[in-house]
Amino acid sequence: MNESTHSIGTPETPEAAATAETAEMAGSADPAGLAATAPGGIADGVRRSLDPKVIPLQRTIGGIVTGCVSLPLAAAVAVLWVVAGPPPGVVAGLVGVWSAITVGLGWWLYRWPVLHHRYASYAVHPDGIEIRKGVIWRQAISVARSRVQHTDVSQGPLERKYGLGTLGIYTAGTDHAKVSLDGLEHDTALRIRDHLLPPAGDDAV
């Protein structure tokens, strides 16, 4: 058995906040040391968190969702009350359930964006991008620039209002054929996209 097994003791790329990663994946609180703005180019390997505006954006969406769930429920209860005329105890119970659902869902969708923002980050390296996301199921995804097939930046109506954009990175992979990163400032998303685009003439398929 002639082995040439690699040692994996020393990572080959400089990783900013590598210790913070361990802490984060292990489940401890807020990963510290995230740079706010980039002085030079975007591809400096510094880990950045998402634009904080993503929190109000997702809360807006959460509010809409809550309304879409809550109002039909309220209407159903009202119709039941008027048509069937159940005893007051039942009505009180239904109203209780309705308010529990509304408040619970609303609170959850109000809190969640903060957690989402806390555990999502990205780092653009000269040769690729690294994305972390997930509150309960954590993920850390690395895509090398040489593997990017194409990229796109999309912007929904609400995202446009907040000046945000979603970056989509497409690879030839199977499970991760599309890696997306939402909650970027639109300009930043465009800059990352431009950076990840494979250089022309490199398409030696």
Question: How near is the Cβ of 18 to other proteins at its closest, in Å?
Answer: 8
Dihedral over alpha carbons 69, 71, 73, 76 (to 10 degrees)? -150
CB 58 within 8 A of CB 131: no
By the rule CB under 8 A, 175 interacts with other proteins: yes
Residue 180 engages other proteins in binding (rule: CB under 8 A): no
Task: Write the burial class of residue 74 (CB in 10 Å: 0-12 exposed, 13-18 middle, 19+ buried).
Answer: middle
What is the residue type of 26? A
Q: How many residues bind other proteins (CB under 8 A)?
A: 44
CA distance 167 to 165: 7
With contacts defined by CB under 8 A, name the span among 15-23, 55-63, 70-78, 85-93 that binds other proteins. Answer: 15-23
Query: For residues 124 and 192, is the Cβ–Cβ distance under 8 A?
Result: yes
Give the x-and-dash track for 27-46 against other proteins (CB under 8 A). Answer: x-------------------
The answer to whether 192 touches 129, Cβ cutoff 8 Å, is yes
Per CB under 8 A, 174 contacts other proteins: yes
What CA–CA distance (Å, rounded) separates 108 from 66?
Answer: 10
Find the binder of other proteins among 3, 37, 83, 199 (CB under 8 A): 3
Smallest distance, other proteins to C-beta of residue 183, A: 19
Restricting to residues 95-154, name those near other proteins by CB under 8 A: 125, 127-128, 130, 136-147
Subset of residues 183 to 202 that bind other proteins, contact rule: CB under 8 A: 202
Stretch that binds other proteins, among 20-28, 47-55, 89-97, 99-107 (CB under 8 A): 20-28
Distance linking the first and last C-alpha atoms of the chain: 36
Binding site for other proteins (CB under 8 A): 1-6, 8-9, 11-13, 15, 18, 21-22, 25-27, 125, 127-128, 130, 136-147, 171-176, 179, 202, 204-205
